[in-house]
Chain A
Amino acid sequence: MNTPTLIPDDTELARIPGLKRFENISKDAFQMELMDLTHSVYPHEEVYGKYCTVEEYINCPPEQVFEYMSQTRSLEEWSFSVRDLVPSEIPDVEVGVDRIGGKTKIYCKTVSNREALTVDYHCAWDQGRELWMIYLNRIIPAELVLGKPGSVVIWTNCRHPNYINNPHPELMPDRPVWVGDFWDWFYAGHWVELQNLKAILEHRHAQGLPIGPHLVPVTGDKTS
């Protein structure tokens, strides 16, 4: 039986306004559009206002990067201020303290896919029922994209409306800041944290150490 050759339905696509495809716009016109879109500088708001992506090369195999990132407690090592994670009353959700918000509780559920090498942290301040602060991470074998061993990590946040308006202000009324107040620093803050991740993983990989997180028993008085 012959399998028919299938091609895109250009007639249907032509009815969709705004599409720019080789079939309906010349290469010249397309290039002119690109020139117009290319500037010397870009306002921070334009680049990081709605979405914030940071990316870095890490000299550590993708499987190990995945192993490390997919354990929620690794965040206590490489994040700036997430600490003291313990299981919460909600299944699969851990609760800790985000020190950047004083005594703010942070809830976190790690959703990862070993085959796809994705590790997403679904988080929220103050409550764990609606986890809307989602840190999307994709680990890519550097061999594929850069032609060298190691990993590339791409980390994206999307500006959920809750960053602008705290949906539950009653849960911590005396706190002077809201997590969304930091949105304009997300690029810088996340880039610094990604450097932490890189430094830890490259150090342990180079030294042949267990990838971690390296959790040790509490000694003496430990107060949060």
Chain B
Amino acid sequence: MKSALPELKLIRLANSIPEKRLGNEHFGQISDSAAQKRMFQGTRHRHHMEVRGKAVDHFEIAAKGLGDLSKVDAILTNVSLPDEVFTGCGAVLAQRLKLKPSVVVDYHSGGCISFVILLEYAQSLMATHGIRQALVCIGQTSAGRIFGNDKIRQKPQSAVPGDGFSVVLVGQSDTGARLEGVLHRCHPEYAADMVISFDDGRKYWEPGHEPGYIDFPESKITSIIMRGNRIVPDAMRTLRDRLGIRNSDISGLVTNQPNPFFLRNWREALELPAEKHFDTFEKYGNLFQAGIPVTLAEALEAGRISPGNRIFLAGFSHAGDYSGAASLVF
């Protein structure tokens, strides 16, 4: 069935990284739980968007760096903390870029692996809606909007998130990297383990004064880490086996980047050396969903990917509710 899908090329990528760069000293280093430290530590810098800034501003900047957009019929977005509560920003971006897409999807799940999932959807839309090219827009906004808050930044998990944005032009093209295979999985049993907490106990739609933050129950941290150790290698190996290739056929890896231990464990699972596992963790921190496209764009820009290279993308989201992997041949 997959082979019947039209060929999708990853044509060009462009990033927009917020200007505000923060060092570790900006954050409190307090933790009662070493497991939490392990999950959230390890970065040197991260960038924060302005609290009142918008994801769509960054998407517009990035998209304008992509050149000809005249064949774009679809806009797919995923933003961690959306610009508006009800509406996504796909249509706003179309307005800014003066595009008339026939399909706009503001996708609200998939988290750190949403880029892989949206590549899969874009390919499906090529088959079902005759889409020629699509903009896949991935934004991480929660660092500036949540973790930079004066009350929140002293929490142990606040130091690692960073903001970043990437817009990727995909679809029909004579040039670009071919999407060779892609899969994603939903793990409903892990779906309720990451929450937005408010110290006054309110829900986000209820009025109040306390800022919210992303929270993982302490009793689940070890279990979440072990999920990441299991479901990401499992997704990568399933795709590898489906493609009928071996670890040695994989030239490089880009994953989401929650912490250095996941990075180490995931590349070990593919028997890749550290220099073949591209990451931007030290300078950007945990970019959540933007981690994969931002890092991929930087690796390409730096000339670390050569024609003929097969690059795997992989990761998992939130507390393990989605995992996925994709293979690109450059």
Question: Known contacts A35-B225, A38-B229, A40-B230; is A27 also within 8 Å of B34 by CB?
Answer: yes
List of B residues within 8 angstroms of A30 by Cβ? 34
Bin the interface of chain B by size: 10 to 19
B268 and A40 contact, CB distance less than 8 A: yes
Please encode chain B, from 37 to 77, with 1 for each CB lying within 8 Å of some chain A CB and 0 for all others: 11000000000000000000000000000000000000000
Determine the residue in chain B with the shortest Cβ distance to A32.
B34
Instruction: Give which listed residue, A28, A40, A41, contacts B34 with CB less than 8 A.
Output: A28
B229 and A39 contact, CB distance less than 8 A: yes
* Bound form: Cα–Cα A31–B221 in Å: 12
- How distant is A50 from chain B, measured CB to nearest CB, in Å? 20
Chain A contact residues: helix, strand, loop or mixed:
helix
List of A residues within 8 angstroms of B31 by Cβ? 28
Instruction: Give which listed residue, A28, A31, A36, A41, contacts B261 with CB less than 8 A.
Output: A36
- How distant is A32 from chain B, measured CB to nearest CB, in Å? 4
* Bound form: Cα–Cα A176–B33 in Å: 57
Please encode chain A, from 90 to 110, with 1 for each CB lying within 8 Å of some chain B CB and 0 for all others: 000000000000000000000
Task: Kindly state whether residue A29 has any CB partner on chain B within 8 Å.
Answer: yes
* Bound form: Cα–Cα A147–B32 in Å: 36
Task: Kindly state whether residue B264 has any CB partner on chain A within 8 Å.
Answer: yes
B33 and A41 contact, CB distance less than 8 A: no
Determine the residue in chain B with the shortest Cβ distance to A41.
B269
Most chain B CB within 10 A, of A26, A29, A38, is at A38
Determine the residue in chain B with the shortest Cβ distance to A35.
B38
* Bound form: Cα–Cα A35–B264 in Å: 12
B233 and A40 contact, CB distance less than 8 A: yes
A39 and B34 contact, CB distance less than 8 A: no
* Bound form: Cα–Cα A56–B38 in Å: 34
- How distant is B246 from chain A, measured CB to nearest CB, in Å? 15
Determine the residue in chain A with the shortest Cβ distance to B230.
A40
B35 and A40 contact, CB distance less than 8 A: no
List of B residues within 8 angstroms of A40 by Cβ? 229-230, 232-233, 265-266, 268-269
B38 and A41 contact, CB distance less than 8 A: no
CB within 8 Å of B: which A15-41 residues: 26-32, 35-36, 38-41
* Bound form: Cα–Cα A51–B33 in Å: 34
- How distant is A56 from chain B, measured CB to nearest CB, in Å? 23
- How distant is B60 from chain A, measured CB to nearest CB, in Å? 39
- How distant is A119 from chain B, measured CB to nearest CB, in Å? 35
* Bound form: Cα–Cα A30–B264 in Å: 20
Determine the residue in chain B with the shortest Cβ distance to A36.
B261
* Bound form: Cα–Cα A72–B5 in Å: 63
- How distant is B83 from chain A, measured CB to nearest CB, in Å? 36
**10 sampled A-B residue pairs with Cβ under 8 A:** A28-B37, A29-B34, A31-B34, A32-B34, A35-B35, A36-B261, A38-B229, A40-B229, A40-B232, A40-B268
Chain A residues packing against B (C-beta within 8 Å): 26-32, 35-36, 38-41
Chain B residues packing against A (C-beta within 8 Å): 31-35, 37-38, 225-226, 229-230, 232-233, 261, 264-266, 268-269
> Which 4 residue pairs of A and B lie closest in terms of their CB atoms, listed nearest first?
A28-B34, A31-B34, A40-B265, A35-B38
Known: A31-B38, A35-B225. 13 other contacts (CB 8 A): A26-B34, A27-B34, A28-B32, A28-B33, A30-B34, A31-B34, A35-B35, A35-B261, A39-B265, A40-B229, A40-B232, A40-B233, A40-B266
